A and B are shown apart, each in its own frame.
Chain A
Amino acid sequence: MKEPSTIKDDVEFWRWREYHRVVQGKKWTNKDIITAGVDVGSVSSKAAIMINGEAYSWGIIRTGSNSPESAKKALDWALEGTGLKLSDFKYIVGTGYGRVNVPMANKAVTEIACHAKGANYIWGPSVRTVLDVGGQDIKAIRSDETGRVVSFLMNDKCAAGTGRGMEVFADLLKIPIEEIGEISLKVDEEPPPVSCTCVAFAKTEAMGLFRKGWSKEMVLAAYTRAMAVRMASLIDRVGLEKELVITGGQSKNIGVVSRIEVVLGVKCLPMPNWRENGLDPMIAGALGAALFAKALYEKAQKT
């Protein structure tokens, strides 16, 4: 997946941290409804385990070339340290771009529904607009107080603004992807956005800006701004209703998030402290899927 033309050494600047976590102080018994959601995206695969509809553990890995294997790996990682095994799950829902390729899933649910549901779980019932910035597409979703989808708009088949586009830029500028947001904010004055949203053209434009003497920070600011404008226009078109939240990998990019806030003139709900004990906005889809799994299990019990 690396860019042959831009990588000269072994440093993979696009690489972000894969990790797993078990929520401390939570116990499960066989009487609990244990469910899982597996979200196989184009760039990352996420699995979340819930006990009675409450987040218990999760794992995030990079999606490999084989979707079923990525799904299994993500779930295995979420299981690590929990004492749970596959047979303990009452129900598993698969979601994401590779949702039909989640072998252990009882059912597949679209990622739009899962992200709305998961955002509602992470931030609560005040969420009305969810911007999900994934590896390969951007979705703006309107939802009600229960996390049900009201309407949505999607930008796909174009890398502009996506996580993958950001990875390409991280490689081009030789800046680790997790630092891109902070670095893009280190400018005295916000430069004008790059004029090309197409990532291929933006790369050429960025090289031209370097030759003009721009710093990495300025080039990154100009690129991030252009991407933020693009995402904001998608939100505008779906109709912005407060509260706004951002999910997906780019929710962790402070450079993108803060610029979307400036362009739209609204603040997003604060990001949970995912580095310590908070929920990770990247697993919103997996959490939503695990919640659907619980609902589907309960429905099956009634009939």
Chain B
Amino acid sequence: MITVGMDLGTQKVQAVILKDNAVISRGQAFSGFDPTKAAEQAVDEALKKANLKISDVAYFVATGSAMEMAPYANSTVSMMGADAKAGVYLFPKARTIIDIGAEEARAVKCDEKGLMVDFVVNERCAAGAGTFIEAMARALEVKLEEMGPLSLKAERASPINASCVIFGESDVVSLIHRQESKPEIARAVFDAMADRISSMVHRLGVNPDVVLVGGVAKDVGFVASLNRKLGVNVLIPEFPDFAGALGAALAAASRAREGQK
């Protein structure tokens, strides 16, 4: 049985295809101004890679902030629900899933079946999401992907204002004026954001195993800072940015099975 999950985020759309509960292909596209079209592209890419057609798919489930705009969708699943499902599928002992995207961050507490028990969300504030790192990289005049490796060279961190992107930018500029080194400023950026995420996770309790997903999980600098702040080593899957789509695909599989009964 073929099922597809789609995650329509603010920056990118991902699609994951499951065959009998195993991932067989993935697709991705930039959301742009037309998330519907982007989702079609992502699904198309994934189907092509797996040599499949739309008609082969038994069930589609959409998630993500623009899930209502998803094409093909038979139903939707909440972003927290998708995180929980994907987290436990990837790491059966996972009980806390942290998902950090471009504009939002979530922490989800779940049980052994991958069902969500509780969650906290940071939304409507750029300081606790990928946007923060992007803005600070711009202020530092460093490429986004260079921020992480750069920060690992730092010997110490200088504190910056992590509670607001706008104030954080000014802080980074004054650190540059004070001739702080770029690695140290980069480290300060990650520490600041990890602080914010860690205090969010602490509201749920840090229940191991802790899994980190979402695009920001690919940033080695952030992961190092988060591990330090949380006091545990977070587990990261091979394709952390596809976790939402995977969760949706898993939901699609169980809904399709229910439908068959």
Contacts and interface: CB of A to CB of B under 8 A. Distances in A.
Contacts of B141: 4
A69 interface: no
A200 B135 contact: yes
Contacts of A287: none
Interface in B148-169: 161, 163-167, 169
Interface size class of A (residues with CB under 8 A): 20 to 34
Contacts of B261: none
B241 interface: no
A198 B139 contact: no
Contacts of A85: none
B170 A1 contact: yes
Interface in B167-182: 167, 169-170, 173-174, 177
Given A65-B174, A157-B161, A200-B131, A164 B167 contact: yes
Interface string A1-19: 1011100000000000000
A141 interface: no
A196 B127 CA distance: 13
Nearest to A197: B124
A199 B165 contact: yes
A136 interface: yes
B126 interface: yes
Contact of B126 (A136, A165, A168, A198): A198
Interface residues of B, number: 22
Contacts of B54: none
A200 B170 contact: no
A4 B163 CA distance: 20
A158 interface: yes
A159 B124 contact: no
A201 interface: yes
A201 B124 contact: yes
Contacts of B165: 159, 198-200
Interface in B98-126: 103, 124-126
A159 B164 contact: yes
B169 A157 contact: no
A164 B124 contact: no
Contacts of B48: none
A4 B135 CA distance: 11
Interface of A: 1, 3-5, 65, 136, 157-159, 164-165, 168, 196-201, 208, 211
Given A158-B163, A164-B166, A200-B165, 17 more contacts: A65-B177, A157-B164, A158-B125, A159-B167, A164-B167, A164-B170, A168-B166, A196-B124, A197-B124, A198-B124, A198-B127, A199-B164, A200-B126, A200-B135, A200-B166, A201-B126, A208-B33
6 contacts: A198-B165, A199-B164, A199-B165, A200-B131, A200-B165, A211-B33
